[in-house]
Each structure stands twice: as structure tokens, then as C-alpha cells.
Structure 1
Amino acid sequence: MADTDLKPITDGDITPPPAGTDFTPAPPLKDAGVDFDADASGSRTDQAKQTVKDYSSKYGAQATDKIRTLADTGKERAVGGLDQLSQLITDAAGQVDDKLGAQYGEYARSAAGAVSNFSEQLKGKDVDQLIGEARDFVRKSPGVAIGVAAALGFAVARIVQSGIDGDKA
């Protein structure tokens, strides 16, 4: 019987023992070698609580360090990607000049400059600052944050799906 199948006992569920059954009470647990001294159990409980706290703080610190390392790596990759994007846009600006005109080439150069500036801002901040700014943004504009998260989720899903479809081919 599973634990979830247990039902409370009611008076109607109790069957009296057969006549002549001897019901001698069990010996006290102290006599059985189990010591339930209040002070001893309290100190054991305190020791167990302290052990749990020690392990949780140890593993919590390890997890925090790992997350921080992963976040730093992600930041470095993002900055590298933004720098490459900025360079790509700058390189394409010359072709835009030739095909669409100098005015549109300047738009491309302006976009490349904006991407480069954003990359420099990311380089100058540590992960904690970036997380704090993201929290502030979400608090100030939760609707925009949800929209951005949905768009990023859609983009990531498309990228993953195209990778999966590419593996099948």
C-alpha cells in the first residue's frame, strides 16, 4: 500500500483483540538502550542543523562561484560577438555607400558605432552590475522585459531547431 493510500483510523476501523490475548506493554525505550534525554537530543538536533548549514553554505558558495565564472565567460563571448558584429557592419558600410548611397553608409557606420559603444560599456562592467541593471530594467518595464524574453526565446528556439534540422540532413 502506498503512503498516499493511507486513510485516518476511525472508531469503526478498530477491531477488538481476541479474548485471552496478553497485552503487556513494551519496555521503556531507556531499557532498550535508546537514550532520549532532552538535552542530548537537543544537542544532536543542533549538531544536525549545524552540519546542514555548513554543507549548504559550502555548496552554495561553490555554486555561486561556478555561476559567476559562467556569467563572466558569457559576458566575454557577448562582447566578442558584439565586436565582430560592429566590424561586420563597418565593413559592409562601404558596400552600402556604393549600392545605396553615402547617406545609408553613414547609417551603417552609426549602427556599427552604437554596437561598439555597447560592447565597450559591457567590458567596463562586472557581472553584478549587469545583473543589477537588468533587475532595475525589469522592475521599471516588466512588459518590455517579457517581450524581450519572448523574442529571445523564439530566436533561440529557431536556432536550436535549425541545428537539429541540419543534423538530420
Structure 2
Amino acid sequence: MADPTDRNDLAPMTSGDTETASGSASFRQSAPLKNAGSNSTSGTADTLSSKASEAGETIKQGASDLRGQATDRVRLFAEDGKSKATDALGQLTQILNDAAAQVDDKLGKQYGQYARSAADQVQAFGTKLDDTTVDEIFDEARELVKKSPGVAVGIAAAVGFVVARLVSAGVEQRGA
């Protein structure tokens, strides 16, 4: 390849090269840019816009599908949790009724009646929970949060604390 410094037509720039043209000099308009203003540029823009719109719709559809799957999973977990809670409340009712009989023997029927009353309350709550759908439970929870957000935050903190304790107890048992 030839060295550009070997060419004879290269000359240093002079002040004449940088002077502006006088007012009498005529200028002619340059030729338009290649494909400027033609439909091919707007066609390309339309194509890109169309593809971006399609991509946006695909993302929205994917997000909607994921939201539906998440909702279904939450509903399944809630149904399972409701079933387990109902079973646990039934067992608690049985324990309280057994305790009431023992309290009758040791302290008297008056104190045993307190235990039976507690067992009845737990059983009534379990029955109500069993008869309520998960959607109704979610609606009631929303209403509770709207009516008294402070109480809702306190309940959430208490539940979080209990869950954390249960999880840490489970982890400690596995490590032992």
C-alpha cells in the first residue's frame, strides 16, 4: 500500500482555505441525501414501530399469563392452608374437650365449663372457616386492611414472627 505522504497533491492548509465567501458568491443547493423523504424510510420506521408494538403485546400477554399462574398457585396454597387449619382447629377442639373433663374432675364443673366454652368457640370458628371460600377470606382480609391498616400491619408482623420461629425451629431440628 502506498504511503499517503508520497503524494504530490497534498499541500498545507492556508488562511485562504478558511475565509468565508463574500456576499456576492453564489451558493447552490446540495443534492438531497440518499433516500431522504422517500417511503422506504417511513416504511422502515413503520416496520420498527410495528415490531415494537408486537413485542410489547407479547410481553403484556406473558405477564398476564404469569399473573394468572401465580394467582392459581396462591389459591391452591390457600385452599391447602385452609384445609390444614380446619383440621388443626378440630384437633384443638378435641383437646379442649378432653381438658374440660379433666378440669371437671380436679377443679369442679364450673371451671370445666370454661374449657368447654372455649372448645365450642374454636369449633364454631373451624366450622365457619370450613364453610368460607378462599375468595371470601381474601375479600375479608382486604376489608380489614382498608378499615384498620395498623391492625393489619400488627397481624402481619405477628404472623411473620410465628412463621420465622417455626422455620428456624425446623432448620434447627434438621441440623441436630
Same fold (TM > 0.5): yes
Alpha-carbon separation, structure 2, partners of 1:164 and 1:50: 44
Matches of 2:151 and 2:138, distance apart in 1: 17
> Percent identical across equivalent pairs?
47
* Counterpart for residue 71 of structure 1: 78
Point out where structure 1 has 5 or more consecutive residues left out of the alignment: 1-18, 21-27
Letter in 1 for 2:51: R
User: How many pairs align?
Assistant: 142
Amino acid of the residue matched to residue 160 of structure 1?
V
Question: Which is further off, 51-60 or 39-48?
Answer: 51-60
Select 1:129's aligned residue among 125, 131, 136: 136
Equivalent residue for 1:140?
147
Q: Would you say 1:103 and 2:110 are equivalent positions?
A: yes
Misfit runs of 4+, over 4 Å: none
Deviation at 1:110, TM superposition (A): 0.6
The structure with the largest alpha-carbon Rg is 2
User: 1:107–1:131: structure 2 CA closer, same or farther, 3 Å change rule?
Assistant: same
Pairwise CA distance, 1:99: 1.4
CA RMSD of aligned residues (A): 2.6
Where does structure 2 lack aligned partners over 5 or more consecutive residues?
A: 1-11, 14-33
Question: What is the distance in 2 between the residues matched to 1:67 and 1:149?
Answer: 17
Tell me the CA shift for residue 101 of structure 1.
Answer: 1.3
Q: Post-superposition shift, 1:141?
A: 2.5
Deviation string 1:59-109 (CA, Å, 9 cap, x unpaired) is 221111111111111111111111111111111110011112111111111
Q: Structure 1 residues 98 and 59, CA, compared in 2 at 3 Å: closer, same or farther?
A: same
| TM-score of the superposed pair, with normalisation by structure 2 | 0.70
1:25-36 correspondence to structure 2 within 5 Å: none
The residue type equivalent to 1:76 in the other structure is S
Deviations along 1:91-142, one digit per CA (max 9) or x if unpaired, are 1110011112111111111111111111111111111110111121222233
- What's the offset of the Cα at 1:143? 2.8
Residue equivalent to 1:6: none
Residue correspondence of structure 1 range 140-159 to structure 2 within 5 A: 140-159=147-166
Query: 2:20 aligns to what?
Result: none
Letter of the structure 1 residue corresponding to residue 154 of structure 2: G
Residue range with higher mean Cα deviation, 54-63 or 119-128: 54-63
